[in-house]
Amino acid sequence: MLDIFVTSRVRRKIIVVFAKYPDFKTHVRGLARLIKEDPGNIQRELNRMVDGKFLLVTKRGKTKVYQTNKQFPILKELQSIVIKSQKGNKPSKTIG
């Protein structure tokens, strides 16, 4: 269901991770391993999400660490959408 509104597969995966787990912190390569996507594509999407204030970025040495901005105005709504869209992906039982 989320794919109707968010057309980028990589962006959807990132939104799901950070909306479902708001305390999660990671760097680009760690996220790439988790969601099995190209680090270059992930970096581009992360930059967009930082610019849009959905994610916060801090530096640890030379490494950028990303986390959910818990002050993001529509975070609760986004979390609700993610949870509902994942419930919709489960196979339904057929009565027959």
The domain in which residue 35 lies consists of 2-87
The CATH number covering residue 19 comes to 1.10.10.10
Q: Tens of pLDDT along the chain (96 residues)?
A: 677 778 789 999 999 999 999 999 999 999 999 999 999 999 999 999 999 999 999 999 999 999 999 999 999 999 999 998 887 665 545 554
CA atoms within 13 A on the CB side of 55: 29
Whether 53 is in a domain gets the answer yes
Whether 15 is in a domain gets the answer yes
**Spatial CA neighbour of 20 closest among 76, 91, 88:** 76
Whether 95 is in a domain gets the answer no
Q: For residue 54, give both structure tokens.
A: 């959905």
What does pTM read for this prediction? Answer: 0.84
Q: How many domains are contained in the chain?
A: 1
Whether 16 is in a domain gets the answer yes
Distance of CA 94 to the CA centre of its chain: 32
Whether 77 is in a domain gets the answer yes
